[in-house]
Structure 1
């Protein structure tokens, strides 16, 4: 097996096991036997061991001497890990996961928007405006992938421009939420132009140093996204 094929099988194995755990197919306390995975997936022992190490780093499994590798309860998972979020969103826990992420965005991003009004540098405001332009172009073209990419760029810049270094650590989970809307097909066929306009109004509030206004617009954007997902989930 080539090194590329090995990496591909390793990635597949991590993803498959992660989904099985997140969906409850592998329940808390379930024993994972490497030899069985080797036979089931045709993977070498080193590939299986490395895949289990990745899941261990995410808090989903733990190897124990004489007991083997066991699935850990969800409270021990790294719930901010982008893969863990993706696996939970794809499983029966998806609606709850998305609602929890919306709550987290409300707690962090609204305050980040308020701080941006005080701390954002001119070049960061320009980056926010450029992301709005990219969102508008993607919406016109009905290109959901490009729209999501621009949306992620906007909110990533927003967190960075807040002046709070800790907020940057929420970049990946928030990006996972925005990406999940596309993956779950909860984005409408035609993006409402009002969504892009709301982002532009947020940039204008930041540029004019209107912290209260920026916070209010950020809050309305998050709640609109929450409602959109809830309404369109199967």
Structure 2
């Protein structure tokens, strides 16, 4: 099937679940979806398979396609993150990922200073320098690409495979922050320097300095985006 058609139907159905237009407990039927989306039942089956992998729906024999509650969603899936950032839940999504980052990334930087291969730490240092140039120039598109690469290198450099798997969710929230206009046109000079400090500490093998510099980055990040979730209640699921 054409990938554009596949993606369009996934977005239509998935977004409707995420933003609550199709609430949890709703039962959908393949024939109805095929008719409303103007696609074949084979396309619907593939779409349902993808959405089920995200935890948004489940197929129930002789009943239909049941929409699942938010507690069942795969909240680490980059597409789910993108959908949440595009709707009313963007504040809660930014808060959750920002808090996750502030917990994980300082430890990842500390570990990277102990375990990151020399070639990767040299690349990290080069990326930090390029970020400074792009940030000063106000080139946010290029800065975003470099920022994603910087944090990916730190996570992978930690040598912790579970930290490394967070690279896509963190890339998604970095992109979302820029797309939502929550990035200053010119990143703060101090923040640019902290990225250089992280890279320098990792390359030099200084775990405590790497952690401390990354903690400064995370604290500033939270202070800049915190207004977006100021009035958003926290969910609780036991």
Report the TM-score when normalising by structure 2: 0.91
Match of 1:142 in 2: 138
Residue 161 of structure 2 is aligned to residue 178 of structure 1: no
Secondary structure of 1:35's counterpart equals helix
The alpha-carbon deviation at position 232 of structure 1 amounts to 6.3
Give matches, 1:149-188, under 5 Å: 149-188=145-184
Report the TM-score when normalising by structure 1: 0.92
Secondary structure of 1:111's counterpart equals helix
Residue 13 of structure 2 is aligned to residue 54 of structure 1: no
The alpha-carbon deviation at position 71 of structure 1 amounts to 0.6
**Residue among 205, 208, 211 paired with 1:215:** 211
Give CA deviations for 1:18-49 in whole Å, capped at 9, x if unaligned: 11111111111112222222222211211111
**Residue among 8, 14, 21 paired with 1:25:** 21
Q: Matched residues in 2 for 1:142 and 1:33: separation?
A: 49
Greater mean alpha carbon deviation, residues 184-193 or residues 71-80: 184-193
Residue 77 of structure 2 is aligned to residue 77 of structure 1: no
**Residue among 177, 189, 196 paired with 1:193:** 189
Secondary structure of 1:187's counterpart equals coil
Match of 2:236 in 1: none
The alpha-carbon deviation at position 194 of structure 1 amounts to 2.0
Match of 1:225 in 2: 221
The alpha-carbon deviation at position 70 of structure 1 amounts to 0.8
Secondary structure of 2:166's counterpart equals helix
The CA RMSD measured in Å over matched residues stands at 1.7
Give CA deviations for 1:190-231 in whole Å, capped at 9, x if unaligned: 222222111001112222322122111111211211221234
For structure 2, list consecutive stretches of 5 or more residues without a partner in the other structure. Answer: 231-238
Give CA deviations for 1:71-104 in whole Å, capped at 9, x if unaligned: 1111111111100111112222211111111121
Does the 8 Å contact 1:34/1:48 carry over to 2? yes
Match of 1:132 in 2: 128
Q: Matched residues in 1 for 2:30 and 2:12: separation?
A: 14
Aligned residues: 230
Match of 1:108 in 2: 104
Does the 8 Å contact 1:184/1:233 carry over to 2? no
**Residue among 45, 51, 61 paired with 1:65:** 61
For structure 1, list consecutive stretches of 5 or more residues without a partner in the other structure. Answer: none
